[in-house]
Amino acid sequence: MNRAGRPALIGAAAFSYVIAAAALCQAVDVQITTVRALEHGPSDAQLIALRPRLRRLVGYRSFQVIGQERRRCAWQEREAFDIPGGRLLHVQPKTMRDQAVVMRVALLDGQRTLIDTDVRLQNRGVMLFGVDTDSHVADGALIIMLKAEE
Amino acid sequence: MTCGDVAQLLDAFVDAELPAHTLLAVARHAGACPSCDVAVRALTTLHDSIERAAREDADTLDLSAVWPAVEQGIERTESRQRWVRRARRVPAWGLALAAAASAFFWFQTPAFTPGPGPAHAPARLARVLPNQTVIERITSDSPRFELRRERKLGTTLIMVSTDGEEISR
């Protein structure tokens, strides 16, 4: 490459870097925590503060974290989170409205769509998805905690 | 009672949610079994430290303005009641005269014209809960799903049944 071409290349690289950094800033932090809820047994220490609320909502008494993932999701881009048990949670942040993250969330079990919803979750708020497992196969339920933070 | 039983009941024991006889049975076992005793103490310490942190947060709240505000409220109510008692003692012709005077001044006052300020008063804001969730659309291949909501923080749970049977909880 000749000397005249080098500044242009550096400029293009810097421009791409700035665009990439800006795209990264224009994103939502999504944290997915998967919890196994059971009738009996100990609960994880990290869930102690949440336990009374979980008990009231879910009806079980023991809660153990079985998976946790945090990812930066770009606006309008759909991200797939693996959920223990072979399920998938698709999260697609759409926009911010009134200090809330508007997003599409779909929980898939193979070809079946267990839930497909458009929600408006308060920024830094938490919402829950519960999967009541087949009582003939296993006890308890799977709880998916979704936290979104711009 | 075995160590396994105690491990199952440990959380409920520390939260004092067990019936009295089970509570005693766990306590008796932990008293005689060093490993269960350690487990109970560890969880109790964790529980206490969380409780202490919450109490410290509560202690930092400044409540000094609460009682003066309550007293002011009581004073306002009493003064209103005094005026009602006085008004009841005023004869009927006095009230009629006051009403006529009010009507006269009302019709003499020029019509109110809005100034250059904002056209509408700001709407009263509703309290937004930290986990408040608005469900704008929802569909499911499962014939059974439920929406549950907790009032304190507004946490929303969407519970779905995988086998289409009634949700067990």
Cross-chain Cβ contact B157/A51 below 8 Å: no
Provide φ and ψ at B24, rounded to 5°.
-65, -40
| A140 lies within 8 A of chain B by CB | no
Q: Which of A101, A98, A107, A105 is nearest to A125 (CA)?
A: A101
Furthest-apart CA atoms within chain B: distance in Å: 91
Cross-chain Cβ contact A127/B156 below 8 Å: yes
Q: Please list, residue by residue across A70-98, b when 16 or more beta carbons sit within 10 angstroms of its beta carbon and e when fewer do.
A: eeebebeeebebebeeebebbbbbeeeee
* Structural domain spans, chain A: 27-149
Mean pLDDT of B159-169: 77
Q: Which is more confident, B20 or B115?
A: B20
Cross-chain Cβ contact B161/A132 below 8 Å: yes
Q: Which of B135, B129, B137, B139 is nearest to B157 (CA)?
A: B135
For the stretch A53-86, pLDDT in tens is 899 899 899 999 999 999 999 999 999 999 998 9
Q: Is residue B169 classed exposed, middle or buried when 0-12, 13-18 and 19+ CB atoms within 10 A define those classes? A: middle
B142 CB neighbours in chain A (<8 A) are 112, 114
For the stretch A94-109, pLDDT in tens is 999 989 999 999 999 9
Q: Which of A47, A27, A29, A28 is nearest to A37 (CA)?
A: A47
Q: Which residue of A has its CA nearest to B11?
A: A42
CA-to-CA dists, residue B85 to A78, B80, B89, angstroms: 69, 9, 7
Which pLDDT belongs to residue B38?
87
Q: Which of A40, A34, A24, A4 is nearest to A150 (CA)?
A: A24
How far apart are the C-alpha atoms of A147 and A126, rounded to whole Å? 4
Residues composing chain B: 169
Taking phi over 0 as left and psi of -120 to 50 as alpha, with beta for the rest, A104 belongs to: beta
- Residue of A112, A118, A135 lying closest to B136 (CB–CB): A118
Across the strands, what pairs with A71? A30
**pLDDT band for position A13 (cuts 50, 70, 90):** low
Which pLDDT belongs to residue A25?
56
Q: Which residue of A has its CA nearest to B156?
A: A127
Cross-chain Cβ contact B131/A141 below 8 Å: no
CB A88 within 8 A of CB A108: yes
Q: In a 3-state reduction of DSSP, which class is residue B119?
A: coil
Q: Which of residues 52-111 of A touch B (CB under 8 A)?
A: 53, 56-62, 99-100, 102, 107, 109
A–B interface: beta-carbon pairs under 8 A: 133
Cross-chain Cβ contact B133/A58 below 8 Å: no
- Residue of A58, A121, A133 lying closest to B162 (CB–CB): A133
B154 CB neighbours in chain A (<8 A) are 122, 125
Which pLDDT belongs to residue A79?
96
Q: Name A92's Cβ contacts closer than 8 Å, sequence gap at least 6.
A: A73, A76, A77, A78, A79, A103, A104, A105
Q: What is the ipTM metric for this complex?
A: 0.82
For the stretch B78-96, pLDDT in tens is 888 888 888 777 777 776 7
In 3-state terms chain A splits into helix, strand, coil percentages (rounded to 5) of 20, 50, 25
Q: Is residue A37 classed exposed, middle or buried when 0-12, 13-18 and 19+ CB atoms within 10 A define those classes? A: buried
